[in-house]
Amino acid sequence: HSVLTQPPSVSGAPGQRVTISCTGNSSNIGATYDVHWYQQLPGTAPKLLIYGNINRPSGVPDRFSASKSGTSASLAITGLQAEDEADYYCQSYDSSLSASVFGGGTKLTVL
Amino acid sequence: EVQLVQSGAEVKKPGESLKIFCKGSGDNFANLWIAWVRQMPGRGLEWLGIIYPADSDTRYSPSFQGQVTISADKSINTAYLQWSSLKASDTAIYYCARQSLSMFGDYYYAMDVWGQGTTVTVSS
């Protein structure tokens, strides 16, 4: 099982807003280590979507936003589009493992 | 901007050895941290470890320590991931990625440049 916990799947209709949660513990997210989010379109390599809890790399639409509080983080996607259908992963650092860790991933389906 | 290009797909038998590579463009490769990430069929991402080619400083996730070897040759801008004796459970896509350090350099941060992935299939 993954160190960070994400829901296996979420769905929404085009134009709607969805959120994806990422829950950790006091060795990772709760220890104030930053959370990053990745989008993986089918058959492609992951792409950095959000870094440092809230920051979007150049080229990422502002429909994507994220937040962090306590031992959890959250990714929000507004104005859902068909092209957003993908797997989404959160990632942080775990001090007990001295390693980067990922969430199990969440499959977003656009209805 | 650095680009990472990985070696092609491999099909191997259990017990065989394998070394795959990740070649970086640009003249600053040695001073990048390069991570390796595994994705088993239909599963999520797993961080294997990381290397700093400038001095070959290497760290492993506890789950993969002793299971794989990460190395690099800074003279040719290349990082490697190798197995001495493959198992069927090593079947996966393996990605390399540039991973930055935190502001104070005390922990591994985000992975902003990814290779295209190398598919490794281990089957008898």
> For position A1, what pLDDT does the model report?
85
> For position B122, what pLDDT does the model report?
98
CB B46 to CB A100 under 8 A? Answer: no
B70/B53 Cα distance (integer angstroms) = 10
CB A98 to CB B59 under 8 A? Answer: yes
Burial of A90 (0-12, 13-18, 19+ CB in 10 A): buried
B18, B86 Cβ separation under 8 angstroms: yes
| N- to C-terminal Cα separation, chain A | 28
**HEC profile of chain A:** CCCEECCCEEEECCCCCEEEEEECCCCCHHHCCCCEEEEECCCCCCEEEEECCCECCCCCCCCEEEEEECCEEEEEECCCCHHHCEEEEEEEEECCCCEEEEECCEEEEEC
Q: What is the pLDDT of residues A8-37, one digit of tens each?
A: 999 999 999 999 999 999 999 999 899 999
> For position B86, what pLDDT does the model report?
98
Compare CB distances from A45 to B35, B59, B116 and report the shortest one's residue. B116
Give buried/exposed letters for A45-83 (b at 16+ CB in 10 A, else e).
Answer: bbbbbbbebeebeeebeeebbbebeebbbbbebeebeee
> For position B90, what pLDDT does the model report?
98
> For position B81, what pLDDT does the model report?
98
Nearest CA in chain B to A5: B44
DSSP B43: -
CB A91 to CB B95 under 8 A? Answer: no
Closest to A34 in 3D by CA, of A55, A20, A49, A48: A55
What is the amino acid identity at position B94?
Y
CA angle A80, A81, A87 (to 5 degrees): 85
Q: Given a cut of 90, is residue B31 above it in pLDDT? A: no
Residues of A in contact with B111 (CB under 8 A): 36, 38, 46, 48, 91
